[in-house]
A = this chain, B = another copy of it.
Amino acid sequence: MSQPHHDDHLDRIRLPALRERITTAAAAAEWIKDGMTVGMSGFTKSGDAKMVPLAMAERARHTPFQITLITGASLGNDVDKLLTEAGVLARRMPFQADPVLRAAINRGEVMYVDQHLSETVEMLRTRQLAPIDIAIIEAIAITETGAIIPSTSVGNSASFAILADKVIVEINLSQSLALEGLHDIFIPKHRPQREPMPLMTPSDRVGTTTINIAPEKIVAIVITEKQDSSSTILPPDAETDAIAAHLVEFFEEEVRCGRLTNSLLPLQAGIGTIANAVMTGFINSPFAHLSMYSEVLQDSTFDLFDAGKLDFASGSSITLSSQKGAQVFRELTRYKERLVLRPQEVSNHPEIIRRLGIIAINTALEADIYGNVNSTHVLGTHIMNGIGGSGDFARNAYLAVFATKSLAKDGKISSIVPMVSHVDHNEHDVDILVTEVGLADLRGLAPRERAQAIIRNCVAQPYRGLLQEYVTEAGERGGHTPHVLEKAFSWHTRYRETGSMLPIRSVNIHPTDDLDDVSQQAA
């Protein structure tokens, strides 16, 4: 993030009548009552409301109350942590990535509804979820007509503001005014009047640059200079470099076969270290004039711009490391005409994903021998983050890639198991599985063939041999998708009991990153 701009905050409220709505965060928070459903800006820690939620947490310490909190995706600034600790969250959707909230969810204290990110506002719009009582939206400014100019994310903010009766705006002076004009707000019509979305390339603009609402809905305005939280992705390492190299080699072969051109097709990449590293790997690739049609734009997006590899990037948020953020927001005008931020129902829309032919690259927590992927649940029960947008993309994409390191916890966990303990993406949706060991191209293969391709290409020893033993025993029982059901989770239960998936202590396991990192998922 750049340093706070010390311009007059009144200049950022261009409809003078609204200036009288400026108030404190504590006063604004009084609008939120027990039992309400609150729609709040924020997607992958960017553009989140920062002051009012903290005032809510403060108030709940002396006057307990609970709400349903709906956002775009994850929040920064410890908002989910503080609201959890204050007991404010009864229900949370559609995504989170906070350790304190996650623990409360896993204890069954917060009801977490883990949703496909394209679906939340569709369900709100059709009143399949309880209505939004109040929206809290971070903005860089309010226009002369009272329209809201979002900051570093769009997420679900536009529909929250449109659907709510009351809107609280947080004007964030630390967010660059150069963001104005970057957004493209398109809201689908109600059915049966809904029309095709006229978006045919990632750079097409189909909406407005502002969130247009009746200004009288804005009941409070809070001024802040609090910055977005920075991304905490790790730099590429030997294993993520190997994953990226396998993928580049795969795409080179696709180009050689004439299935793709040298500019590939629009790329989507999930959030986190592995996906960012994979995208960084395109810098030293032969591909050119790449484009992105993704959810979150991370450091790698701007590295690819600077390397001259990327022509255009469409996302729903910009989430950068501290260093990269300082540079990008200082030089935003240099990138701006090659960027657009859209509502997440547009960035993740099945219509656009299928039409553009997205190459979707997401991260697996674990995968199994048939190519089913668990993106979310440790040992099948404890959630890490959520499915995010990975399901919107994987089901409808031209090509669905899932990447993971083959080992976790110093080799005590194999990311490739006989059967995943939770299925977020099933065999029908997983085209390519890649680890640092290698890449399995699963297109057009039957389950028994998928198993051989995955074991041969993606699994480190000694797990490779153990999986082959499992497959052999399962094959003797028969079936299209052979399994030994009573042993399908034996690796998970062994890990739970002994701290390792290995039946006996084994040497030659390569150390690897912590499970928490491996589990980063789209959004």
Chain A residues touching B, majority SS? loop
Identify A382's interface contact among B112, B357, B480, B493, CB under 8 A.
Answer: B480
Chain B residues with CB under 8 Å of A259's CB are 126-128
Q: Which residue on chain B has the smallest CB distance to residue A195?
A: B200
A428 touches B114 (CB 8 A): yes
B350 touches A396 (CB 8 A): yes
Task: Tell me which residues from 408 to 451 in chain A have a Cβ below 8 Å from any Cβ of chain B.
Answer: 421-424, 426, 428-429, 431, 443-446, 448-449
Do A123 and B428 contact each other (CB < 8 Å), given the known contacts A198-B196, A351-B355, A479-B381?
no
A196 touches B197 (CB 8 A): yes
Interface size, chain A (Cβ < 8 Å): 83
B486 touches A493 (CB 8 A): yes
Do A123 and B478 contact each other (CB < 8 Å), given the known contacts A194-B200, A356-B192?
no
Whether A505 sits at the interface, judged by CB under 8 Å, is no
B428 touches A383 (CB 8 A): no
Identify A492's interface contact among B355, B443, B485, CB under 8 A.
Answer: B485
Whether A380 sits at the interface, judged by CB under 8 Å, is yes
B480 touches A106 (CB 8 A): yes
A128 touches B485 (CB 8 A): no
| CB pairs A–B below 8 angstroms (9 shown) | A106-B479, A108-B448, A128-B431, A196-B197, A196-B198, A377-B481, A424-B426, A424-B428, A489-B489
Chain B residues with CB under 8 Å of A395's CB are 116, 350, 391, 395-396
Whether A181 sits at the interface, judged by CB under 8 Å, is no
Q: Which residue on chain B has the smallest CB distance to residue A103?
A: B478
Q: Which residue on chain B has the smallest CB distance to residue A93?
A: B444
Other than the known A192-B357, A421-B485, what 8 A-B pairs have Cβ atoms closer than 8 Å? Answer: A106-B478, A111-B446, A127-B258, A195-B200, A196-B355, A350-B353, A381-B481, A488-B489
Whether A12 sits at the interface, judged by CB under 8 Å, is no
